[in-house]
Chain A
Amino acid sequence: MAAKVLNPGLSTTVQDLGRPGYFHLGIPMGGAMDRLALRAANLIVGNDEGAAGLEAVFIGPQLEFTRDALIAVTGADMPIKLDGEEKPSWTGLNVKSGQVLSFGFLKTGARIYIAIAGGIDVPIALGSRSTYPIGALGGFKGRAIAKGDELPVGNATSGKEGRSVPEALRRRPGMPAELRVLPGLYWHRVTEQSHQNFFDDQWKVAPEADRMGYRFRGGRPLQFVERDQPFGAGSDPSNIVDSCYPYGSIQVPGGTEPIILHRDAVSGGGYFMVGTVVSADMDLIGQLQPNTPTRFVKVDMDGALKARADRAALLDRIRSVFN
């Protein structure tokens, strides 16, 4: 073991890049909500990009190290302290055995990522160390970390203090946040006017925002194209015969509050969806606080692929800093 939990924060979980392959059984991919931030943290400390780290939302944990370690904290802007002394983010930090890592109040963003050289060494479950709390699967005993837990860390390979991701390569949501959306799925269920309103209106992140999904409020309710509900769908016009849900898909129960499914998505259900957030912008959602003003920006498939290529290029630039 290498880190003892003095205070877990609000909800701090072990996450890596997830466990693809089991969504057809209702077990989501999971993994870091802001993948780019986790990859960067791992690169800084010399880990594989997919090594398991800690994801903490809104409030950072307090950890006492029980052996020397090289760590890095990326993601949201939250003051980092070692024995009370402020330290830089997105930068490799040497920690001595006995030192305590703690955090100040969150400034911007929502989630920090703590990488430790060697990676958090919890057992692998279905190919991943990511925590899926609803299924009590993976991570530290299938749950968020708690006071008194002793986190095992693997053996470090390389990595040295002081290496850092340049400011320009740290991706953050804008203000208002803009999320690119490819319309589709059951987009035809709502009227032309609602199509326009959905992209014209300013929305706001609701308090119900977690790893499973992000809810939004504030836009005009969607109006449905009239039809007789198909057999098995249910009587509400927003109901469909329960189908699969893509990661990033936007369902709008009752036509009122859009919910974007995220890394711990339910794999299916009976609400229609208006489209899907492009894969490149999923990381950004992980950094949205409640009440963040948000715009949905319409793109076509070419736009979605362009966004994907831009994000891949950004990751390559981050990698090139460390190679």
Chain B
Amino acid sequence: MKNRYSFGGDEHLFVECDESMSLEAFFKSLSMTNAVRDSQIRGVTEICPANASFQIKFNPDIIRPGDMLREVQAIESAASKTDPVIATRIIEIPVFYQDPWTHETLMRFRERHQDPQATDIEYAARINNYATVDDFIAAHAGSPWFVSMVGFVAGLPFMYQMVDRPRQIQVPKYLRPRTDTPKLTIGYGGCFSCIYSVRGAGGYQMFGITPMPIFDPEQKTSYLRDFMVFFRPGDIVKFKPIGREEYDHTVEEVAAGRFAPAISDVTFDLREFQKDIDGYNAKLEGMINGR
């Protein structure tokens, strides 16, 4: 896995760690971006990690593009020796699968879908060889997910399923993107799950909705008072299926400032994870709220 370097105009250095998605590629991107941050290269203005690549915005009036490239290339070999271990957190996200709001929206955009006769989740279950939608939901909520990128729009997490590749869910995006997606929709495209932080256009399949806000520009939500964006790259997420009653209740609790997401600090070691994926995940899940 060797980096590919390219310039995005005169202000961006674009670095692809791997063409394919994997946790190894993500960790390489993460360790490179951490190393670039630590090295405090003059002229760097933004460091943006992505799933299997990253981007550095720089001011070419301060550092010549060629020098920028050499500085980052010099970091590559050191960064590749970094242990793939991070101190992070695991968060439980309640999800109301097959909710009425995403259902209403997906019905409005049926002509843009691969399978207009089915719902998004029925389609996803079928093409991933699950006998029933319930089996599919059990798989989606059955393993943790790794936040491998935050972006697209404000605070939207891309999440990578923490199972071995043959078990990973894959679905195509809509044939043509929708012009509307409800806020807090749980989406799916390619091998990534996401949570739409705001209402707007989108091309990911829609499976459900969470009552838990993840972006609040007014910073009124109790757990978003310090910063308006909830997710950070490296966060680990576990979905918890809930029904209408708990959904409504949680919405009320959030509005009243009483809702606190279940979060625990954890250390994630990619090598340990790969030795025993299911066992490692079970340990991680056990740490949510110390249960």
Contacts and interface: CB of A to CB of B under 8 A. Distances in A.
A312 B154 CA distance: 31
B46 A23 contact: yes
Given A244-B54, A244-B55, 8 more contacts: A20-B46, A26-B155, A232-B22, A244-B151, A246-B9, A266-B153, A267-B152, A268-B152
Contacts of A25: 150-151, 154-155, 229
A266 B152 contact: yes
B221 interface: no
A232 B20 contact: yes
Contacts of B8: 182, 184-185, 246, 248-249, 273, 276
B85 to A, nearest CB: 21
B9 A24 contact: no
A83 B179 CA distance: 40
B189 interface: yes
Contact of A242 (B6, B47, B165, B190): B190
B152 A233 contact: no
A100 interface: no
B268 interface: no
B46 A26 contact: no
A37 interface: no
B190 A26 contact: no
Contact of A270 (B10, B61, B189): B189
Interface string A301-322: 1001100100010000000000
Interface in B10-41: 10-12, 14, 16, 18-22
A276 B12 contact: yes
A276 B19 contact: no
A198 to B, nearest CB: 16
Contacts of A142: 217
Contacts of A267: 48, 151-153
Given A24-B47, A232-B190, A270-B189, A246 B11 contact: yes
A234 B190 contact: yes
A135 B46 contact: no
Interface string B63-79: 00110000000000000
- The 6 closest A-B CB pairs, nearest first, are A232-B21, A246-B8, A276-B9, A244-B55, A267-B151, A26-B151
A243 interface: yes
Interface string A244-277: 1011110000000000000000111110010111
A6 interface: no
Nearest to A249: B8
A278 interface: yes
A26 B51 contact: no
A241 interface: yes
Q: For chain B, give the interface size range.
A: 35 or more
A26 B19 contact: no
Interface stretch (B88-96, B101-109, B192-200, B239-247): B192-200
A244 B14 contact: yes
A169 interface: no
A230 B1 CA distance: 13
Contact of A182 (B9, B16, B19, B54): B9
A225 interface: no
28 contacts: A21-B46, A23-B46, A23-B57, A25-B151, A25-B155, A26-B152, A182-B7, A184-B14, A185-B8, A185-B14, A231-B165, A232-B190, A233-B19, A234-B189, A234-B190, A241-B51, A242-B50, A242-B158, A243-B51, A244-B55, A246-B57, A248-B11, A267-B48, A273-B8, A276-B8, A301-B65, A301-B66, A308-B61
Contacts of A132: 154
Contact of A26 (B60, B153, B173): B153
Contacts of A232: 20-22, 51-52, 170, 190-192
A280 B10 CA distance: 9
A43 B66 CA distance: 34
Contacts of B45: 20-21
A268 B192 contact: no
* Most chain B beta-carbon neighbours within 10 Å: one of A20, A25, A230: A25
Contacts of A304: 9-10
B11 A247 contact: yes
Interface string B138-166: 00000000000111111110100000010
A259 B211 CA distance: 34
Contact of B217 (A125, A243, A266, A276): A125
